[in-house]
Chain A
């Protein structure tokens, strides 16, 4: 019996001066598996993005990097196909199929030509449900992750980020890098990975976005065939809510570079907070808006102190962060830091002008459709809309949410969030004239 529940919502995305529409359909398969779909028959291509809630924040103690290593091995042999046979099939059919893990979710990515659709989805099913974890790929991927960890240790941005999260979320799973450490990666065993799959890859954590050359009926059948064998429920403990540490601090990691690279951050705001849109618009003006941002104007455009300076809101599932970055030659690093603090202060005390507010709204509304420029990017958007529980009509409502932000909202959000004297900073380099609180 074929049973489809199809909910169609017409989503109008407003660009300046024009009105247009993308149709998002909610498809529920005969077995009850849900996906959001945008049909696009322009090219013979299908993209699917998948997320399982959880990800690296569910890594057991001492096993940091488990989600990521598991992700690296799901496409390295499954069912009857060993690693090279699996990869050969993907390459010969020009199928992109891989997985990765973030702090809050485990993600799968699939892209195929329409003519290889059924094979592609079947390989995805095999990878999720029958990964082999043969010895050769396990040790190879372990070596690759280790080499990546070593390589990233050379990168000042990555070094700063690791230390920032370690200290800002001490005692919480967010303190761990999703990639783990040289020591933790050594300990990861196949049994751990099988345990991870059992605990996390279940239907109750699953979110699916599909875009491209297929119909809802075709997708419904593929959903059952691909995900129907996954257990209905997962067995993971909930991750606790957490706040970023408070109190000013500057950790210095000395490195013989000509330039000091720094990350600065503080407690932020979660995606479902009523002040989200006010904070988002405020940050666009402060440090999110590229050449339109105050940080870029003061640090780069007026003084030439940095190539890149920015801030953004990072809404984690169980916390919120405002984080930013800058890189300035060692002798003038303190000057950049002072300017950044001053801009945080100015925004907190004075808010923004009517013109800044209006310009920010125009940009944030007008630029939204620019990201819809490939099947994969639209599929990723469909997943994120679901993870954030924004509703199938969100694209339609988004403009009103942004437009509703008032100067008073901005002031309230800025006063609540911006703490220029409570920044937690990690600097990598050899800055002069800076007094670190920790080394």
Chain B
């Protein structure tokens, strides 16, 4: 759920977060300036003067988890429809105007948030701000546009999920992990529910959630709060706020049984093993465990010297890949994830047994203090890179603020990591890994399928300078 973003266009950038435990930020790293407009819209400015470009983003505190049951895919479909025009922008013109100004735009939808952005020269900020503010309140949709875009989304679903057995299994696992939370719905939606969405559904959702007091403006790049403020007041400040509904994240019941999901598919050639555990986030559960869990993810599966890689891939030679990851930004509970691919010829159950031994050991003993310290140092040091890209800070802050964190919390991240102890890591490991709130997924080739063992690597177009 959380780590998956579904975007309007294939070239969506998943920016910057190179760590398993995506660092939200670092103290005095992004050094953002922030203020509020009178209508309740929050504004965050991340100055970066290296190049005279800006990334202008509007984040809404609404996502797939805020859909009404039975209407899965609506948040993402509306994201597509937001490009269909207003009384002053003709259908399909939004992106073309951005392009005519030398800019690029796109949008993305997650469980807890929906975001829109334009990357443009700094002197085009006012233009894109005017257009973004316009579509926050003045979207115009008609039946024809709606139906065409719904068809596009169904094709998107096929391309992302239905063509891909691994993605199908991940979707099933996610649905099984969250018994009661809306996070069990795939962000892109179930096929039949997407096909049944109506124009009225989209408009009702838009009117309910798209309002300045439910939005965060993030501008990163060659700007200052001083230069952004008059523009933000002029375009966003004039919009009237709405009465906002409560965001409901129904609680998970106490877990009683670990679950196993097996997908056998004739299209599979490389088997895989994965597991999800329910875990606390910044927004729900034992939030004090968040930072120890980030350190735990680094220790277990953060890189080629992490425990799982070292033991399974290097020492035992059972796996081609092994990883752990944890994304702490969510309104409700989140997941702690493991993934492994066996080396050719190694049966999945043998690999799983070896993983279980490692996880049981960590749940019981945690990690030695010296290893914990090294992992903390790595996490803190790598935060320096987060500042390098124009987009990393904008993303980290937008995601944090739409999932209930504060700017101060984001900025305190290195200090929070520094304060984590080996005992806390051990406690976090025991809590998550000994829980029954887990789903194990096994992806198998169909032994009855004709095996076309013809491997095909991805095409990488040569990167010409044009």
The residues of A with any CB-CB pair to B shorter than 8 Å are 15-18, 20, 22, 40, 42-45, 83-84, 87-88, 91-94, 102-104, 111, 113, 136, 139-140, 143-144, 146-165, 177-179, 181-182, 255-259, 261, 263, 271, 280, 289-292, 297, 300-308, 312-316, 323, 327-329, 359, 362-367, 369-370, 372-376, 380-381, 384-385, 388, 390, 394
Contacts and interface: CB of A to CB of B under 8 A. Distances in A.
A271 B464 contact: yes
Interface stretch (B152-160, B208-216, B244-252): B152-160
Given A156-B163, A261-B159, A151 B270 contact: yes
A233 B313 CA distance: 37
Nearest to B84: A301
A165 B147 CA distance: 37
Contact of B11 (A179, A290, A303): A290
A163 to B, nearest CB: 7
B135 interface: no
B465 A394 contact: yes
Q: Which of A93, A102, A155 has the most CB of B within 10 A?
A: A155
A45 B461 contact: no
25 contacts: A42-B50, A84-B305, A91-B303, A149-B456, A149-B457, A153-B269, A155-B456, A159-B454, A162-B454, A257-B162, A259-B158, A261-B163, A291-B92, A301-B148, A304-B155, A305-B155, A306-B155, A314-B461, A327-B159, A367-B103, A369-B52, A370-B53, A375-B388, A376-B388, A385-B465
A276 to B, nearest CB: 8
B163 A258 contact: yes
B307 to A, nearest CB: 12
B52 A18 contact: yes
Nearest to B106: A290
Given A102-B460, A155-B164, A43 B388 contact: yes
Q: Which of A144, A151, A364, A388 has the most CB of B within 10 A?
A: A151
Given A147-B343, A177-B457, A154 B148 contact: no
A94 B378 contact: yes
A91 to B, nearest CB: 5
Nearest to A147: B320
B456 A16 contact: no
8 shortest interchain CB distances as A-B pairs: A366-B102, A304-B151, A149-B455, A161-B459, A15-B121, A179-B457, A162-B456, A147-B320
Nearest to A270: B464
Contacts of A300: 152
Contacts of B51: 20, 22, 369, 372-373
A91 B459 CA distance: 29
A173 B303 CA distance: 34
B266 interface: yes
A256 B267 contact: yes
Contacts of A164: 459
Contact of B151 (A150, A151, A305): A305
Contacts of A372: 51, 53
B138 interface: no
Nearest to B303: A91
Contacts of A291: 9, 83, 92, 95-96, 99
Interface string B252-279: 0000000000000011111000000000
Nearest to B392: A374
B452 interface: yes
Contacts of B154: 329
Contacts of A178: 457, 460
Contact of B155 (A15, A263, A315, A327): A327
B229 interface: no
Contact of B384 (A113, A366, A370): A113
B104 A370 contact: yes
Contacts of B463: 380, 384
Contacts of A84: 304-305, 310, 314
Interface string B135-153: 0000000000001111111
B200 interface: no
B99 A307 contact: no
B305 A367 contact: no
Contacts of B464: 271, 313-315, 384, 388
Contact of A307 (B156, B302, B317): B156
B389 interface: yes
A366 to B, nearest CB: 1
Contacts of A92: 374, 377-378
A395 to B, nearest CB: 9
A304 B344 contact: no
B381 interface: yes
Nearest to A280: B466
Given A151-B341, A307-B152, A259 B385 contact: no
A160 B454 CA distance: 12
A164 B92 CA distance: 33
Q: Which of B120, B342, B391, B466 has the most CB of A within 10 A?
A: B466
A120 B320 CA distance: 27
Contact of B100 (A159, A181, A359): A359
A164 B457 CA distance: 12
A87 B390 contact: no
Contacts of B390: 373-374
Given A92-B374, A111-B385, A292-B95, A153 B456 contact: yes
A390 B466 CA distance: 10
Contacts of B317: 136, 139-140, 143
Given A147-B344, A153-B270, 8 more contacts: A18-B123, A150-B453, A154-B270, A162-B454, A271-B464, A301-B92, A375-B388, A388-B465
B87 interface: no
A91 B102 contact: no
Contacts of A40: 50
Contacts of A91: 302-305, 378
A151 B377 CA distance: 34
A229 to B, nearest CB: 26
B166 interface: yes
Given A139-B317, A259-B162, A15 B305 contact: no
A366 B127 CA distance: 14
A182 B453 contact: yes
